[in-house]
Amino acid sequence: RLDQLTEVKLERMLYPKPETLKPPRTDVLTITPWLAPIVWNGTYNIDVLNAQFHKRGVRVGLTIFAIKKYTVFVQTFVETAEKFFMVGHKVNYYVFTDRPNDIPNITLAEGRQLVVLIVPSYQRWQEVSMRRMEMIRDFSSQRFINEVDYLVCVDVDMRFSDEVGVEILSDVFGTLHPGFYGAGRQGFTYERRPESQAFIPGDEGDFYYAGGYFGGTIEEVYKLTNFCHNAMRTDRENKLEAVWHDESYLNKYFLYHKPTKILSVEYLWDNGFGVPDILKRRRFVAVPKNHNAIRNK
């Protein structure tokens, strides 16, 4: 095994020296107590990271679900991803849908492909959202493991508006929810009923993670989605459903399986929250939707 390892050695590069006594950000937390980076603008050098990930020839899968009327979001999502998501790297879009004929044909850059995966739709929207865990799990073991190294799993009702690159990749990562990055534990909308598998007591919890943005290696995403799906199934058998659906189970997973990297709110923003000073870049933002028109079949 050791003699089969391939060396990842960088070439000579010129860039500013990291300054031990001048941290790039002093206005936000950039590392967790378990020493996972929290990714904010200014904290990383993308040239160094790109050189490393290019040497490894890394392949990234980006999963989105477009069930029923949510197919309307695919065009903007993919067009903006072509401009900003992992530019220069190998990317597979995996579009899960029940309406393959509604998925537009979009010209992609070299090294990038779009794969349409036909899946069932569920009647209740909560179930549509939650079943993503089961489907990502199943396709991870059957397909993604053979095609990509990392998965990035996001909501589709979004657009990219600035760069999202390999700085987000790590064994298993979550993203700060834009509504709760300044909140205390009591303010987090974790599931609070002790009977639920998603239960988190008032004196626990690190961050409030968003349901709409997580990822990692295929193996880690398999473990995460398998946990969430099984927890949901147990709750369903007990006639329970966590308060924020898949997001509640994801938060429970991350409580006892700490993420190895956390994406700041730059990676998941909603302009309804304005633009606070700490927010130097808005990389991926919610597309406003007419809840009644889009949500009711």
* Residue 156 interface partner, choices ligand 2GW, Mn ion, none, CB cut-off 5-8 Å depending on type: ligand 2GW
Is 163 designated active site? no
Of 208, 244, 249, 267, which lies in the binding site for ligand 2GW, with binding defined by CB under 6 A? 244
31: helix, coil or strand? strand
155 is a site residue for ligand 2GW (CB under 6 A): yes
Q: Going by C-beta distance under 8 Å and a sequence separation of 6 or more, which residues neighbour residue 109?
A: 82, 87
Query: Hunting for tokens 């010129």 — which residue is that?
Result: 14
- CA gap 261, 52 in Å, rounded: 17
Q: Identify which of residues 155 and 167 has a Cβ nearer to Mn ion in the complex.
A: 155
215 is a site residue for ligand 2GW (CB under 6 A): no
- CA gap 25, 163 in Å, rounded: 19
* Residue 206 interface partner, choices Mn ion, ligand 2GW, none, CB cut-off 5-8 Å depending on type: none
Of 62, 86, 156, 168, which lies in the binding site for ligand 2GW, with binding defined by CB under 6 A? 156
235 is a site residue for ligand 2GW (CB under 6 A): no
Least distance between Mn ion and beta carbon 20 (Å): 40
**Stretch binding ligand 2GW (CB under 6 A), from 74-82, 210-218, 222-230, 252-260:** 210-218
> 35 to each of 19, 99, 107, 194, 261, how far by Cα in Å?
19, 43, 40, 30, 9
Site for ligand 2GW in 39-78 (CB under 6 A): 64-70
Rounded to 5 degrees, what angle do the CA atoms 191, 176, 47 make?
155
Site for ligand 2GW in 104-133 (CB under 6 A): 125, 128-129
Identify residue 178 by its one-letter amino acid code.
P
